[in-house]
Amino acid sequence: MSDQFTAALTLRTSRAALPPGFVQRQRLDAMLDRGVDKTLTVVTGGPGYGKTLAVSAWINHNRLPGPVAWLTAAQSYDVRGLWTDVLNALKSAGALPGSSPLGEITPGPTFGSAELARIVAALTQLPDPVVLVLDDVHELTDDAVVDSISRLIEYRIPQLRLVLVGRTTPPLHLSRLRLADDIVEIGSDDLTYTAAETRRVCAVGGFTLTAHEAEQLFTRTQGWPAGVRLALMGIEESSAPAVDHANNRRVAEYLLEEILERLEPRDRLFLLATSVVEQMSPDLARALSGRADSAQMLDMLVSRNALTVRLSDRPTWFRYHPLLRDLLRERLSAENPDSVPHLYLRAAQWYVSNDEPIVALRFFALARSWQATVKMLGEVALPLILTPQATALVAALAAVYDDPAWRTSAETLIVAMVCDYQRHDFESMRRTADDAERIFASQGIPQPLATRVIVALARIVYSRVSTPSTLVTTSEVLLGMVKDASQREIPAATAYTLIALNNHASGLVWEDRFAEAQIELDAVCVQGAHAGMTLTELSAESYSALVDTLYGNLDQATSRAQWALDTADRKGWVREMQLLASHAALAWVHLYRFELDTAQARIDVGLEASAQGSDVGCRLILHFAAVAVAIAKLDAEAIGLTLNRLDVLERTVGNLPRLLAGWSQAIRAEACMALGKPYEAPHGGNATAGHTGFTTGLHQIVEAKAQLAMNDPAATLKALDFPGLFGRYRSLAAEAAILEAIARGQLRQDALAADNFEKAVVLAEPIGLRRPFVGGNGQIASHLSRFRHLHDDQSAFATELASLRSDGLTAAVPRPPVVQPLTDREMAVLKYLPTMLKSSEIAADLFVSVNTVKTHQRSIYRKLGVATRREAVETARSWAML
């Protein structure tokens, strides 16, 4: 499960070794040398023109400006697969210093222009130039792949020398390079042997020809390298058709047929049997042909220059020339078509025994051995879908669509379901899983464990992206399957357990069961790191950050989320689904700290990353955050727009789990209040025994806010009167204390109001919580001013709170502060000051002496910082005390 080279990749990063008798051509070397000073070199020519060997020989014999990375392109490449292998080729060539960020970038499913720009930026920082050779570029047919190469070329990276080798050039934009003389193009005419080179090839190969015979050979082959080599393998020139360069393949087939007919039957069968693989070791050749002398046979083919080459970096591996292999495969299919699937199966079984599951899957699929394919997927290979090998895995299964009956077989449907996942077609994946299970049920036979595991994984994925209320249940199904499975039954049981446990924990978060979730998330973080399942580890860390945010541990949430995102950033994974909880966590941390612009930027990043179908729970939380930003800015138009977007997403989800349903209701209620409609705010009901989670606390906070907005402080206190409800959630506890302070103040319970506001500040200051201190129609500002002067608090935090207004802008000069809170008796006297009553009349009404009233008046003036009765009234009204 760890990120490491596979044998298949190592073969693609190995160039062909030069065969015996190879003739180095200085004129080609000189042309390639000129390309070292250019952005791009293109080498194109049809089959048999020696393109690959010419470039390989140049690398071997010339002093290049830096290391050389070689990659043979695969037809199955998508843009992620190409760049995964390009980076690995650079690593294997030693082109990356230890400090290069390229060493950690691992393209993920969302790889695109942003990630390519990161690679380009890192390439520009390489200390030395590097030559990157892409062979067989004619195999690259994916538009996104070709576009990414075009963009790479357009950057003209000084440290990169790109060499493209193929039968044709992909549709790249090369006109600017040609105008700037920044490209070297080598074509078929350049690759063709001259008469002198033809004579030299004959001499080096040990063939003694007269001048006339050499001239005849050159005339008949027209210098076509493959034609010359084939002719020198024993074909009499007089019997071979002439080469016209427009029909080289016909000539090659004729010459190769002649060669095959001259072979011993055993040798011919060896060539036919081994043609089903692109490269082979002697051991693989033995498995295919049954010949114990496979190593000697391959050595003999190389020594005779029989269109067979060793791989330079893996000299025990061999490859046939494409012309030879194509003909052999055609002959095999024509002469013994029934043997082809059996040979594919032999190749698959060999790769299974050599721990190469993806290559094994490819050959199982080519053999249309779907039961073996599904068994291999379920038992071993499917967890690779979460690794950089995902593209190769799905490419290995692509043959399923070539089977005319794929829609009627349960096994082929399961294989197609895996491909649906990689394409992010989750609805098709769900339907395909349903169809496969119906077929299994109709057959009346027990469904194999491997297929049940794959279907269970598909159910988990669908829950995560579409129906989060079912995530706990679907995860428990897979956990139950693998719990008692032995390593022999399901070799990938550990990986499946971690995947299921991570999703189960995510589902527990959505059900507002944070404590249980955190235990499982901690386990996944530790075990995921140990197992090399980096994406799963990052997902668990991201959800832990979200839980920390809701608990009010804002610093720890920031640390966790930033670590996950920094790790992902180094690998180019920031937009992966597994990181979405980190984006959601940071968005709310910034909101709680009233950093509205930063919060909005994080929301935008998260929503863009999840636009193609993703973790719908986190996507909802990002939409909640977007509404909250609009509310904080008192932007009625933005509130309506963000609520509409939230409505659209919620309609696609159906029933929401407890946390998401409660949060959605709460944010809608806050929107109603912000729009001046507290009576229309939806109510979630009062807290009841046994429900002390975040959702219940949030409901009671919103209920208290609504009651305050409706000028009912007693009902506000009733909504908050649930001991222990807010204690575990620091942000909620601080907000509850502020709301109680306001309500107590309105009821003239000044001492209790001051105590609660102090409690709110004590809870908020260590974590930088500011959001609950904004708004309140000036009442919060009044309590804050009293708090600062009572406690002589000139701290940076208190100063920041005093500078905030509900629209998030810097406030004007603060009102004159209240030095001390008024006593209940002083508050009673204060209520009479706006009237025309004299001190004696106030005293009579309150049943106290005139001196007592005057004493209270003087105390009120002192505490309000005023000198007259009129100033006292105005100041008291400005602080909402009247």
CA angle at 420 for the pair 418 and 422, rounded to the nearest 5°: 75
The whole-number pLDDT of residue 239 equals 47
Alpha carbons 131 and 70: distance in angstroms, whole number: 8
Alpha carbons 247 and 262: distance in angstroms, whole number: 24
Q: Which residue has the higher pLDDT, 302 or 663?
A: 663
- Kindly report the length of the chain: 882
Residue 243 has pLDDT above 80, yes or no: no
Name 68's bridge partners.
Answer: 131
Condensed to tens digits (0 to 9), the pLDDT of residues 326-336 reads 889 999 999 99
Condensed to tens digits (0 to 9), the pLDDT of residues 559-568 reads 999 999 999 9
Residue 4 has pLDDT above 50, yes or no: no
**Three-state secondary-structure class, residue 199:** helix
The whole-number pLDDT of residue 255 equals 59
Is residue 145 located within the same domain as residue 26? Answer: yes
Contact 832, 842 (CB under 8 A): yes
DSSP secondary structure code for residue 817 in this structure:
P
Residue span of the structural domain in which 396 resides: 340-465
Phi then psi for 256, rounded to 5 degrees?
A: -65, -40
Window from 146-155, 383-392, 764-773 with minimum mean pLDDT: 383-392
Phi then psi for 234, rounded to 5 degrees?
A: 125, 5
Contact 843, 852 (CB under 8 A): yes
User: In the Cβ-directed half-sphere of 389, how many Cα atoms lie within 13 Å?
Assistant: 22
Alpha carbons 476 and 511: distance in angstroms, whole number: 14
Is residue 847 located within the same domain as residue 797? Answer: no
Alpha carbons 624 and 619: distance in angstroms, whole number: 9
Window from 13-27, 221-235, 564-578, 720-734 with minimum mean pLDDT: 221-235
User: In the Cβ-directed half-sphere of 648, how many Cα atoms lie within 13 Å?
Assistant: 8
In DSSP notation, 437-505 reads: HHHHHHHTSPPPHHHHHHHHHHHHHHHHHT-GGGHHHHHHHHHHHHHS--TTT-TTHHHHHHHHHHHHH
Is residue 185 located within the same domain as residue 86? Answer: yes
Residue 813 has pLDDT above 70, yes or no: no
Residue 658 belongs to some domain of the structure: no
Contact 525, 503 (CB under 8 A): no
189 burial via Cβ count (<10 Å: 0-12, 13-18, 19+): exposed
Percent above pLDDT 70 for the chain: 92
CATH number at residue 712: 1.25.40
| 240 band by pLDDT with thresholds 50, 70 and 90 | very low
Name 311's bridge partners.
Answer: 16
Alpha carbons 164 and 291: distance in angstroms, whole number: 38
The whole-number pLDDT of residue 743 equals 93
In DSSP notation, 40-103 reads: EEEEE--TTS-HHHHHHHHHHHS--SS-EEEEE--TT--HHHHHHHHHHHHHHTT-S-TT-GGG
Strands 318-320 and 308-310: what pairing?
Answer: antiparallel
Question: Where is the domain boundary, 415, 448, 465?
Answer: 465
DSSP secondary structure code for residue 237 in this structure:
G
Residues 6 or more apart whose CB falls under 8 angstroms from that of 246 comprise none
Condensed to tens digits (0 to 9), the pLDDT of residues 623-647 reads 999 999 999 998 999 999 999 999 9
Residue 810 belongs to some domain of the structure: no
The whole-number pLDDT of residue 851 equals 86
Q: Which of 538, 816, 539, 509 is nearest to 693 (CA)?
A: 509
- Report how many helices (DSSP H) and strands (DSSP E) the chain contains, helices first: 43, 7
Residue 303 has pLDDT above 50, yes or no: yes
Is residue 796 located within the same domain as residue 874? Answer: no
Mean pLDDT of 400-419: 89
Strands 68-72 and 183-186: what pairing?
Answer: unpaired
Residue with tokens 């949430």: 557
Is residue 322 located within the same domain as residue 346? Answer: no
Name 879's bridge partners.
Answer: none
Condensed to tens digits (0 to 9), the pLDDT of residues 157-213 reads 999 999 999 998 889 988 889 999 999 999 988 999 988 888 888 888 777 778 888
The whole-number pLDDT of residue 30 equals 93
Structure-block tokens of residue 729: 């959630």
| 254 band by pLDDT with thresholds 50, 70 and 90 | low
Q: Which residue has the higher pLDDT, 403 or 545?
A: 545
Structure-block tokens of residue 640: 């309506």
Mean pLDDT of 805-820: 43
Condensed to tens digits (0 to 9), the pLDDT of residues 520-541 reads 999 999 999 998 899 999 999 9
Strands 40-44 and 183-186: what pairing?
Answer: parallel
CATH number at residue 106: 3.40.50.300
Residue 647 belongs to some domain of the structure: no
Longest pairwise C-alpha distance within the chain: 140
Question: Where is the domain boundary, 318, 339, 360?
Answer: 339
> End-to-end CA distance of the chain, in Å?
69
Q: Which string of b and e fits 245-258 if b means at least 16 CB within 10 Å?
A: beebeebbbebbeb
Residue 583 belongs to some domain of the structure: no
Is residue 248 located within the same domain as residue 396? Answer: no
Is residue 20 located within the same domain as residue 163? Answer: yes
Gyration radius of the chain over CA positions? 37
The whole-number pLDDT of residue 199 equals 87
CA 83 to chain CA centroid, Å, is 14
Q: Where are the alpha helices (DSSP H) in 710-749?
A: 713-720, 730-746
**Three-state secondary-structure class, residue 391:** helix
In DSSP notation, 532-552 reads: T-HHHHHHHHHHHHHHHHHHT
Condensed to tens digits (0 to 9), the pLDDT of residues 700-748 reads 999 999 999 888 999 999 999 888 888 899 999 999 999 999 999 999 8
Residue 450 belongs to some domain of the structure: yes
Amino acid at 463: S
Amino acid at 642: T
Contact 502, 470 (CB under 8 A): no
Supply the mean pLDDT for the chain. 87
Condensed to tens digits (0 to 9), the pLDDT of residues 446-497 reads 888 999 999 999 999 999 999 999 999 999 999 999 988 887 888 899 999 9
Is residue 137 located within the same domain as residue 39? Answer: yes
Residues 6 or more apart whose CB falls under 8 angstroms from that of 125 comprise 100, 101, 159
**Three-state secondary-structure class, residue 134:** strand
Condensed to tens digits (0 to 9), the pLDDT of residues 786-810 reads 888 788 777 888 888 888 754 433 3
Residue 383 belongs to some domain of the structure: yes
Q: Which string of b and e fits 757-772 if b means at least 16 CB within 10 Å?
A: bbbbbebbbebbbbbb
Structure-block tokens of residue 477: 């199904």
Contact 270, 243 (CB under 8 A): no
Mean pLDDT of 126-147: 92
Alpha carbons 568 and 561: distance in angstroms, whole number: 10
Alpha carbons 44 and 192: distance in angstroms, whole number: 12
Mean pLDDT of 142-150: 92
Alpha carbons 355 and 332: distance in angstroms, whole number: 28
**Please, what sign has the CA dihedral across residues 525, 528, 533, 539?**
negative
CA 756 to chain CA centroid, Å, is 45
As a dihedral over the C-alpha atoms of residue 822, residue 827, residue 831, residue 837, rounded to 10 degrees, the angle is -90
Is residue 305 located within the same domain as residue 348? Answer: no
Phi then psi for 183, rounded to 5 degrees?
A: -145, 145
Condensed to tens digits (0 to 9), the pLDDT of residues 589-628 reads 999 999 999 999 999 999 988 776 679 999 999 999 999 9
Is residue 327 located within the same domain as residue 366? Answer: no
Residues 6 or more apart whose CB falls under 8 angstroms from that of 370 comprise 364, 400, 403, 409, 411, 412, 415
Alpha carbons 585 and 562: distance in angstroms, whole number: 10
CATH number at residue 323: 1.10.10.10
Question: Where is the domain boundary, 339, 360, 386?
Answer: 339
Mean pLDDT of 288-300: 94
246's enclosing H/E stretch is none
Alpha carbons 664 and 624: distance in angstroms, whole number: 7
Phi then psi for 688, rounded to 5 degrees?
A: -125, 165
Structure-block tokens of residue 771: 């959001």
Phi then psi for 134, rounded to 5 degrees?
A: -110, 110
Is residue 347 located within the same domain as residue 334? Answer: no
Is residue 229 located within the same domain as residue 367? Answer: no
Residue 652 belongs to some domain of the structure: no
Structure-block tokens of residue 567: 């790790």
Mean pLDDT of 123-128: 91
Report the number of distinct structural domains present in the chain: 5
In DSSP notation, 643-660 reads: HHHHHHHHHHH-SPPHHH
Alpha carbons 833 and 61: distance in angstroms, whole number: 102
Residue 864 belongs to some domain of the structure: yes
Contact 576, 605 (CB under 8 A): no
Mean pLDDT of 75-80: 85
The whole-number pLDDT of residue 250 equals 60
DSSP secondary structure code for residue 244 in this structure:
-
Window from 5-9, 139-143, 501-505, 648-652 with minimum mean pLDDT: 5-9
